[in-house]
Chain A
Amino acid sequence: MAYTEEELKKELETKEYEYGFYTDIEAETFPNGLNEDIVRAISKKKEEPEWMTEWRLEAFRAWEKMEEPEWANVTYKKPSFQDISYYSAPKKKPEYESLDEVDPELLETFKKLGISIEEQKKLAGVAVDVVMDSVSVATTFKKTLAEKGIIFCSISEAIKEHPELVKKYIGTVVPQRDNFYAALNSAVFSDGSFCYIPKGVRCPMELSTYFRINQAGTGQFERTLVVADEGSYVSYLEGCTAPQRDENQLHAAVVELIALDDAEIKYSTVQNWFPGDKEGKGGVFNFVTKRGLCEKNAKISWTQVETGSAVTWKYPSCILKGDNSIGEFYSIAVTNNYQQADTGTKMIHIGKNTRSTIISKGISAGKSQNSYRGLVQVNRGAENARNFSQCDSLLMGNLCGAHTFPYIEAKNKTAQIEHEATTSKIGEDQIFYCNQRGIDTEKAIALIVNGFSKEVLNKLPMEFAVEAQKLLEISLEGSVG
């Protein structure tokens, strides 16, 4: 990376993230509500081929018959799906080669976000596919990637330009009728990212997408599809920000990862949607389906830092189908005030000699509820499957809760599974020690929390790690009793 840590810190400091802002871009918004016509209209709007429209309709019909799941350890007022507008796109669809052509207001938003496209282009070597209210408006570094044969574009573009790839892989890992929110997403997804790494190619840079919800009343339904062909490698970063507003916003994304033989995908997320204010008013509902499929000798690694959203419902999973495949899950989930998080992972061992590691750190403060829910499943044929899980929870204050729901199912006698979980609080002696050395209590807590989360933070790419550390501090501000 060309970035030095100092520069990054500086940039992150100016990244006024904590408060919401709202950019007034003329947007074209569909009327509220959802029916077959809306699905057709979205598809038409995106100039999609017939098979895609049919695919969406199939999902919509399945969704109509489904009921919203209630098993998660969260309580919230269910969104009314007929009061949401399912499509909103910046009207002036810019098709530009240089940044000068971009709507200046949009650039202003980026500046607030601290993305600074020019700088990133020059310094970080990160190609950014910025999704602004559902339509991809800026894609950089496409040319460099194209030289390697890497396809990195918005999913609607991919549907138009690489239909064979999309058709082959979309819905193979997360089928349309997988669950309530996945079905909804399949029916109405407006945009998202598509990434294809050809055989044997090692992606030279971290691919990154910034998502933003911008138009009042529009839910964001992103669809991400990452395909790593045989022997390839890609590291993908996903970061989320959302402006502050009153009514709850719905975010139901679907992420599908496909790692073919010997491929490796590293998927890192920093999620910091607006969590609601101190009274628990507002905030984003984050109901995400993320799943990856590993073929022979493939590896998928999920790393996530969850600090935002009023309600999080998210279980990045790995299906270890091929022999010798590896699945990893590293997660930090921080909840404060009235936030609720029910998050974890699923590791499905199907192939022989498959391995999985789960490290989950939950930090709850304020009046929040933080749950880990995980499944480790070893199927009959998965000989010598190996799993290690560790779930640690840290409680701050006596009004919050930490919960662990690990499901472990073993059907093969050669399986080796370990699971351990602890719950603890920050020791008074630890804080006293810091105070004694002139570190105030708030800083001391940040320090201890960072130490607690270190195992996961270490797995993040460098830019994200710095950002994530900052996020942890911001999220826990004011939680010192």
Chain B
Amino acid sequence: MMLLVNEAVAPKVKLDIGQLAVSHYDQVFRFCSVRVGYHHAGDAAQETFITAQRILPKFRGESKPLTWLMGIALNECRRINRSRRDGEPMVEFGAPTPEGQIVDREALRIALARLSPEHREVVLLHEVDGFTYDEIAEIAGIPVGTVKSRLYHAFLNLRQTLAPSEVA
């Protein structure tokens, strides 16, 4: 299924769902894995692309294809988490890095889980997924100022939860 994307975003580029899947599947998978857990991430990522294929004709090209996909993925993760009995999964950390070792990872997981969903979301979008404030605003559908404010307060909460001894 091909579609001409707005020139401001991708001039004279046809958006193909197959190519999108090849180029962005890993990012979407990781995005979903952080939110719904590794075991459900495959389903969430696949459903994201299936949904994207269905609504592709409605895509007006006003945003980047990746942020558009992440918006769909975010909704898909929320849907999956709503239907789960065991609630949202906690994030998993990989092998410790030299910088990361100064923070207790288990405590950080708990602190993240204690954040409000809105605060946790912006933290994940920025710190884990690496999106800029503008991109987060697009994906989450909130103003950039709100992104800044939520991010700051989320970090304050994390810092307070982890206590002085835990950080640094």
Indicate whether A and B interact. Answer: no
Which A residues form the contact surface with B (CB < 8 A)?
Answer: none
Which B residues form the contact surface with A (CB < 8 A)?
Answer: none
